Structure 1
């Protein structure tokens, strides 16, 4: 990747993409690592309304994630436990098995705003304990392989079987 023209990104200038799925998943986000010239690190700005989550409970076998809470409060499901968090907190999600599964839920009354920072792996396996699914992905150059399934079922939708989806 070439060096960016300007190695600074402003959150206020990002073009957010809105999403909604079922009664639990809603938000807006934007990935911007490439704007900074980064290829081995992923950075995403997220806004999640009160009572919502941006993604299902999941764990990564290879990639690690860190979430920097800018505004709001919520509950961080991590493994078998849940933790309250607030603006200024930093949440960690190391690679591993179901003991590192995680999900951010906005349990506050205002919008939750946070940065998600992750390592970027060419090959990754994710598990979704609430729905029993797995996701396998691999990138080689511009080619990408992505498959979602569960035991005996293949080519499933990302939201299949998730609570609230």
Structure 2
């Protein structure tokens, strides 16, 4: 018999995972949709230190994201614009091209704390305008983990027929 999931998670009881990459990217965060029994809706909680960002500037072709700022101050970089944000602000990141690229930067003096909520498509393409990369991934419906994941740059494209026997 499987244990029933509780429909409530308290943020202060979550175990955050701290990570850092280079001098600009750092966060303590956790994804917890599965704890609520959610299969196709991602939800996370993050705490980003002053002067840092929790992810590279990126856009999704399929998935949509929503961020709710709980504490702290920051800048929401969205497309070619920058918006100052603080507690109570709700930020949308619809699917699209580079005009919907986004990320949060902590410009305050204390941790920027926020919730992130996203659709979890079975197949997704993300672009990273600052670095020229793209990410292609798939996952089986109901599973939070990617079954296929590739990060590359369009400059390394291959012809459709390249390497095919008899082509």
**Cα displacement (A) at 1:3:** 8.3
Residue 56 of structure 2: aligned partner: 56
The 5-angstrom pairing of residues 77-156 of structure 1 reads: 77-140=77-140, 144-153=147-156
**Alpha-carbon distance in 2 for matches of 1:87, 1:4:** 33
**Alpha-carbon distance in 1 for matches of 2:5, 2:119:** 23
**Alpha-carbon distance in 2 for matches of 1:41, 1:35:** 12
**Alpha-carbon distance in 2 for matches of 1:22, 1:4:** 40
Partner of 2:130: helix, strand, or coil? coil
The 5-angstrom pairing of residues 27-42 of structure 1 reads: 27-42=27-42
Residue 159 of structure 1: aligned partner: none
Q: Which consecutive segments of 4 or more residues in structure 1 shift more than 6 A?
A: none
Gaps of 5+ in 1: 155-165
TM-score, reference length from structure 2: 0.87
**Alpha-carbon distance in 1 for matches of 2:44, 2:37:** 14
The RMSD of aligned alpha carbons is 1.6
Q: Higher Cα Rg: structure 1 or 2? A: 2
**Cα displacement (A) at 1:15:** 1.0
